[in-house]
Structure 1
């Protein structure tokens, strides 16, 4: 008779219950059958594991050694079994892919890529302003994939079970009212822009505002930031001529606002793709990055300001390899 994992589970169950009678009930067997099994386990290991008494059982020194090893081994085995079972389920039936995204131009490209790779899958999506909640959702298996982003010095760390693949870093541009005097320039100095009133994102786990503040502090001046907003509200504040702000280089101009490069490209933003290692996209990372990267380059061409900037800086903002 060879030692098996089930024997270690029996020993741990007896120690946890404190008596053979209670352990037998928890294991769904009878006390005589469990006693006989314990005797066989002890004979196989070469010593008594428990002292029996009227009040129950207590581990012997030899039993404590066996229990310590069992407690070290079983969680890892249980984790392995759970992970492989989950991976098998995902590979057998990749019928649902839940995607999350920060405010970036890659969500549509990622969804189209997933549909091409998994034509039978149902793809759903939801957005967040910050990447941290999306990372949490990936780790907790509430999402299978996500479009994320970070800034220099604030790089994201993958939680357990999640793969992160940087796609490209692009410069951050100025977002201006169309009638603003700086809008007539080819590029804008950050030192000049800091003199204006600003609309900025709320301080949160995204840390975008923290990154902006660090760069603006290097100008020696502190900007006035009377407006806190994101998304459509921030754009409306800029469109109304109340403030200036910053945006991703791929931001598409809308009536009333213009995008201009910052002189010297002092600020950068990195696009990152993430998915679960045991999810339906596992093993397809290279194809996902290739397809979404190609779509990103096409999006760059549809943003005239960014396209001109890339022509002047051909070695910058290259796709990650």
Structure 2
């Protein structure tokens, strides 16, 4: 793992809080997730940063060195990001639209909406796995809009200048090899899925894997995940019959894999459209939201399994988090 600026922020947050539990709360992470990230940071740096004691965490001599350097570096980085974002906004022409997206069915509809409403714009896009990184880019003015996603109790934080709009909150479904016995079911119990080998996304940069593990932990189980992959590679591992996984409800089945709802809908995913309030898209927000929401409904219809689920579960929604009203600052 390469050391990143966000890792230095994590180390400083732990030092300031004096405990992993308090630091996790301030960072909007779970304590196990923060502990795992700290171990990866320590492995990357080559030494233990904190002594874990009953009363909290205390920096080691090696940790004091790292924390001191981090606190010297971060203000300069923050100033650089603020100044460059301001300069970028001044230099950015009103017709330049930079869009980012996680893997979700909304990107194409967002691009089409921008083309329809701002036909002369210079439109570009880039995709990546982490909603957090895209949110940082929006706040810093490096993107005008983005398709994001989060999970119950793991809502994206509010960032100055960024407005978040919920498009839809949908259940997470099982992704199975077509030949798997569970593929014959209309719904798959999560506890039976936990008897299988799993393919899961890598833990850095996105909290999906952490969310899956936290829900499984409520059943006193943990998925055995010998395969770590994303996107096409994950699908190929499932298609080969080596593992099972989870996917968005709008995932369209391809030959060799099937999608099935989970019994009682224990996992959820929220689709979010976000933009900076200084973005040239902001005046067109209502029209963009309408077009993207219509596109999402079309994506639902293109997924027969999800379309059927929606017929059987009208108005279903998670009981915690992720259905908050639109947020913005």
- How does the TM-score come out when normalised to structure 2? 0.68
Partner of 1:116: 116
Deviates more, 1:255-264 or 1:154-163: 154-163
Distance 1:104 1:317 in 2: 19
State the 1:139 CA deviation.
Answer: 1.5
State the 1:130 CA deviation.
Answer: 0.9
Distance 2:313 2:272 in 1: 22
1:162-210 Cα distance to aligned partner (Å, 9 max, x none): 1111111000000000000000000000011000000011112311001
What does 1:126-275 correspond to in 2, within 5 Å?
Answer: 126-275=126-275
- Secondary structure (helix, strand or coil) at the match of 1:283 reads helix
What does 1:285-300 correspond to in 2, within 5 Å?
Answer: 285-300=285-300
Tell me if the contact between 1:250 and 1:300 (Cα under 8 Å) persists in the aligned partners: yes
Distance 2:219 2:300 in 1: 29
1:22-64 Cα distance to aligned partner (Å, 9 max, x none): xxxxxxxxxxxxxxxxxxxxxxxxxxxxxxxxxxxxxxxxxxx
State the 1:150 CA deviation.
Answer: 0.3
- How does the TM-score come out when normalised to structure 1? 0.70
State the 1:86 CA deviation.
Answer: 5.0
- Secondary structure (helix, strand or coil) at the match of 1:284 reads helix
Distance 1:167 1:223 in 2: 30
1:98-151 Cα distance to aligned partner (Å, 9 max, x none): 100001010000000111111110111110011111111112211111000000
Tell me if the contact between 1:138 and 1:162 (Cα under 8 Å) persists in the aligned partners: yes
Distance 1:146 1:221 in 2: 35
What root-mean-square deviation, in Å, do the aligned CA atoms of Structure 1 and Structure 2 show?
A: 2.3
Q: Which runs of 5+ in 2 are unaligned?
A: 1-81
Distance 1:221 1:119 in 2: 51
Q: Which runs of 5+ in 1 are unaligned?
A: 1-78
State the 1:289 CA deviation.
Answer: 1.3
Shift >3 Å, 4+ stretches: 317-321
Tell me if the contact between 2:89 and 2:141 (Cα under 8 Å) persists in the aligned partners: no
Deviates more, 1:310-319 or 1:156-165: 310-319
Give 1 or 2 for the bigger CA radius of gyration.
1
- Secondary structure (helix, strand or coil) at the match of 2:157 reads coil
Partner of 1:47: none
Distance 1:256 1:299 in 2: 21
Partner of 1:283: 283
Distance 2:264 2:180 in 1: 21
Partner of 1:306: 306
State the 1:283 CA deviation.
Answer: 2.6
Tell me if the contact between 2:173 and 2:261 (Cα under 8 Å) persists in the aligned partners: yes
